[in-house]
Structure 1
Amino acid sequence: MENLQGKVAFITGGASGIGLGIAKACAKHGMKVVVADARQEALDEALKWFKENNYPARTIKLDVTDRPAYERAADEAEAAFGKIHVLINNAGVAAGSGPMQEASFKDWDFIVGVNITGVFNGIKIILPRILKHGEGGHVVSTASKGGLITVGMSGLYCTTKYAVAGMMETLATDLQGTNVGASAFCPGPVTSNLGFSSAQVRPAGLKNDSEKLPPPPPPGSGPMPDWSKIFMSPEEVGERVVRGIRRGDLFILTHPEFREGLIARNEAILRAVPDEPLNVERKNVLKTFGSLIYNPVYDTQTQVGPPDWE
């Protein structure tokens, strides 16, 4: 979807952090932006930037787990700007850090509700509208580097982000032959307030009796690193998302430093494939089940180059 001028983007979790960075990038590339978020104060603050820069934007308070509210938000977005072309499923939370077996059922219900069900709600409610108008479009869902390479002590988070990545790979497969694309957005470290905002939007019924704080650094661990050299800005990752939409990328990644980890994981999977002769008859039968043993959607991903924006 190369031409974004005048198109409409609907962005969940768009009032701060990564979501706001994506919203700003979409606006800079000529899009009308609908910023949906569960926090009214964050929406009010975000709207100031769009007004100051004379970018068309609409803010909508939305809990992505509330399906009737999501339908109303989609109607409101269309009433304000017309047809929606790009859906950014960015709303996400963190919960249950630490050993997975120590996470609570409340942690699980909270993080799955937002990070997985919330993404599906967007696909179910917004995507049919995009397909119906026939003008083309794109769906991006925010997974994480932790949705491609496991991160210790973050089992619930990684579980949901792996699910999002798989959901988008499947959606891209299902959308082949249409003029709508789909991307799994898997950023590395980005300056955001995920932990703080997660606590803000956590329903009272899903709060733990006592929330655990992260443990302090172990003695002798040395000085803290310069996070500004490690964390990417939301504005930069926003530009990377827009580039991915325009290129039609299946995966949108941000940090080249994770290449070795990606290679290691995928090589581990390949080493787990039994080293034995193929059952040709079985292989031929499996081939009849569509993309069961080989999915050509992966062939659509081309090599991404260095940043091409100012």
Structure 2
Amino acid sequence: MKDFRLHLIVLILIVVAEKIGNISITVGVGKIVLLPMMYALLMGVATAPRFTKISSEKNVKTASSLLGVTLMLLMARYGTLVGPSLPKILAASPALILQEFGNLGTIIIGVPLAVFVGLKREAIGAAHSVAREPNVALIGERFGLDGPEGRGVMGVYICGTVIGTIFFGLMASLAAAYLPFHPYALAMAAGVGSASMMTAAVGSLSAMFPQMADQIAAFGAASNMLSGLDGLYMSIWMALPFAEWLYRKSYRMKYGVDPEPPVIKNLEEGKEGEAK
């Protein structure tokens, strides 16, 4: 009850967002579907202490700690959808596993682009993944969050939290309208390890293909679960080494010299040492 004000603000935002409902905008042969989650996110940002006095810094910190609990409830709901569609998911299991390699695309595009605009080792933390909680923990353990890699991963984490759901919802709609991919494939692609981003994309796809809504939600949830399970190991064994290698190549191409060696967090001695 100490945070009654916070719960009241959230309840009002949810009611307003649900009253607005889904808004469909026709774009050529497809539709862009704006979901209540997007309105709630934008209104939540508008009530932040930086912009208004509706909420306080204490409310923001409390809301952050409750985010994990709400996502657990969301994933439990998606778990009930996976069961009835389990035969179809098992039939597509090779595709679900192989699609995880698509996450390496963030490195191929992100690292050279980040170096081109002037970032240094921040590019590795920012572009080695979609920077969700497990990736933030990995970078924090490997390099420390107060270093350049930590600044990079936290920057993408914050941007993804603020605008990621909007971007995923719009991208899923445009991909379904203009690209020759099956809705199940797009649902699998939505499972990048973020429940909120996956929900936004699945919601847009379900609105466009209501006859497949349950199956789309099941494929998205299964893909998101696999990303959470094996995504961290892929980051450790493949994504981070690949990002390091591509960073050195990109840095050498732009500046003509080799980059400075990374500073690795030494957990045993509690010190920082240079990686040789």
**TM-score for both structures, normalised by structure 1:** 0.28
Larger proportion of strand = 1
**TM-score for both structures, normalised by structure 2:** 0.31
